[in-house]
Structure 1
Amino acid sequence: MSEPDLSLEQEMGGIVAGVDEVGRGPFAGPVISAAVILDPDNIPMGIRDSKKLSKKKREILFDQILETSIVGIGRAEVTEIDELNILQATFVAMRRAVKELGTPPSNILVDGNKDPDFGLPTRTIVKGDSLSLSIAAASIVAKVTRDREMLTLSKLYPHYGWEKNSGYGTAEHRKGLSLFGVTPQHRRSFAPIRKILDSCKVKNEL
């Protein structure tokens, strides 16, 4: 299987930022996006789609990417996810990540098939984290950033296994919800969480 490279970046030309997000599917926590402009002469070895890397390797590459590249990190909070919907909140997080770069890119490569409307020339790439080194680097930065945040939140809300499941709807997380209910970090607009809240509302009305 081919590894991501700089072919797409070279096609676009100029200063290219790769953008990716992590956290669209979880029941809890923010959605985190990253934008990365790689230095073509100093690219850390082993960058690929964050899902294909071990936790240890992601952590190492995270540090190396921050040392060698221009990086911006953006986020959308749970309240924004519930207010806007997860897709629009993801776009907000992506636009914030690009703004945080400091050095404005001339072109953007973004993972997925929808343009977040950066106001800059943008190319959407399905499975971009498997094709573009810049997008793959952004996926690593976003993943490590979000996992660390969920680890911190797991200490405040210890009954849901967020240190292991990062807020996804695993059996452990669902069990925690059934026993301890919904926290301020849960996305109330997501069907499983809304169902629990509606059930509690009905019980309270009885």
Structure 2
Amino acid sequence: MRMVGPGPLGPERLLRRVGLGPVAGCDEAGRGACAGPMVAAAVILADGRGGQIPGLADSKKLTPRAREKCYRQIMTHARASAWVAVPAAECDRLGIQEADIQGLRRAVARLSVRPGYVISDGFPVDGLGVPCLGMWKGDDVCACVSAASVVAKVVRDRIMVAMDAEIPGYGFAVHKGYATRAHQQRLEELGPSPQHRLTYANVVRAAKVHAS
């Protein structure tokens, strides 16, 4: 199986060697969805071989079954992990970029182990109280960020499946709140639910169609 972990030149290992550990990775899931929360997660993997998660990769490159398997391994073996859900209404109120940043801050703050350094996917996150490096495609090349992406994705998918039972008709369990053709059709037929992000253009458009 493919193994992603702190190799000889891995960023986590290099940071620990210069005394900046423990290193946390953080990432989010659901930023591009038009319904449901955005989930942010942070993970500190164990040092050495204990921090290697078999099959770990960017959550988008894993099947649901593989993600669940990695998630269980992360929950069992990670030194620390945490996640937060930023509700749809808060994403609307803050704007998606600020909601993303605040969600990542909260996830890092909830870690039971204080990190010495944080690596985030894409852009750096300020206000963490420790240095943070924004790494392009971090969820694909950095093990702790990959782990955070898996936690965020699995948690959010579970939330959306539960939401489908609470608010039937939209198919949340299938498309997880993303703007697929089937989702848009149901959105225009039923109108936005309390879990839709009302500032998103396709939701605004559907609200107008439903009201006409």
Q: 2:184 aligns with which of 163, 174, 178?
A: 174
Shift of 1:4: 3.9
Q: Which residue of 1 aligns with 2:44?
A: 37
Q: 1:49 aligns with which of 58, 64, 67?
A: 58
Q: Does the CA contact (< 8 Å) of 2:191 and 2:210 recur in 1?
A: no
Q: Deviations over 1:96-150 (max 9, x none)?
A: 1111111110000000124343221000001101110000000000000000000
Q: Which residue of 2 aligns with 1:15?
A: 22
Q: Which residue of 1 aligns with 2:112?
A: 102
Q: 1:113 aligns with which of 104, 109, 123?
A: 123
Q: Do residues 5 (structure 1) and 5 (structure 2) align?
A: yes
Q: Which residue of 1 aligns with 2:32?
A: 25
Provide the C-alpha distance between the structure 1 equivalents of 2:127 and 2:136, rounded to a whole number of angstroms. Answer: 17
Aligned residues: 201
Q: Does the CA contact (< 8 Å) of 1:38 and 1:134 recur in 2?
A: yes
Q: Which residue of 2 aligns with 1:135?
A: 145
Q: Does the CA contact (< 8 Å) of 2:121 and 2:134 recur in 1?
A: yes
Q: Does the CA contact (< 8 Å) of 2:4 and 2:53 recur in 1?
A: no
Q: Deviations over 1:17-63 (max 9, x none)?
A: 00010000111000001100001231221111111111111111101
Q: Do residues 152 (structure 1) and 162 (structure 2) align?
A: yes
Q: Which runs of 5+ in 2 are unaligned?
A: none
**Alpha carbons of structure 1 residues 91 and 166: separation in structure 2 relative to 1, 3 Å:** same
Q: Which residue of 2 aligns with 1:71?
A: 81
Q: Which runs of 5+ in 1 are unaligned?
A: none
Q: Do residues 61 (structure 1) and 61 (structure 2) align?
A: no
